[in-house]
Structure 1
Amino acid sequence: MPEANHEVLVVKRPRELLLVGIVLAVSVGQSVVLGEEDRAAARLEAMASFLARTPRLSVTIDSAYDVVQESGQKVQFGERRVVALRRPDRARVDVTRRDGS
């Protein structure tokens, strides 16, 4: 049975090898990030195209904030907005305010 050939790599300058490894890792990492940015841009473009073709859509927005009184009591204020759009010429916004009472 023939013997297997084994090669042994002797590293005489581990700092340089480490530096080369870091540079390679960063360059590979950057290409992965660029790939993710391309995918994100494609998804954003697809969402924009979908919304551009949609004949109707509505969005509900809830917002709230607290105000701390001098007595330490918290009072919450806020509002709910319902935005409805029907193409080509209709839009409606309903606002319901919460005044802390």
Structure 2
Amino acid sequence: MSREAWFVVVIAGIVAVATLVGAVLLAIRVVRARRMLTALGGSGKVAFYGALIYTIFPVDVLPDPIYLDDMGVLAGALIYLTRLAHQRRAAARRLPGQPDAPPESGRARRRVP
């Protein structure tokens, strides 16, 4: 094998290992997010289990040596679950009678006389 071909094989192996490590780390974060599923309701469960099933099953949009589609699905599920969790926490902190809009941050309110 020529030196250039060997270089391409090594670089491709490094990229494959890096994407595999990224997919595994994202899968671990998704599994850890499972703890909060009871508070997130049905849509959170669908996002969690859908991402997990897509990652585990061998049928992919891209072939398995390229884990970019798996990483994208896992990252999308994590983003969705995180936003859903923040919305649920904000709704739980809101007192009865408070408006739905978040308070102004960092600005002093002007009093109208």
TM-score by length of 2: 0.37
- Higher gyration radius (CA): 1
Q: With a CA cutoff of 8 Å and minimum separation of 6, indicate the structure with the bigger relative contact order.
A: 2
TM-score by length of 1: 0.41
Structure number with the higher strand fraction is 1
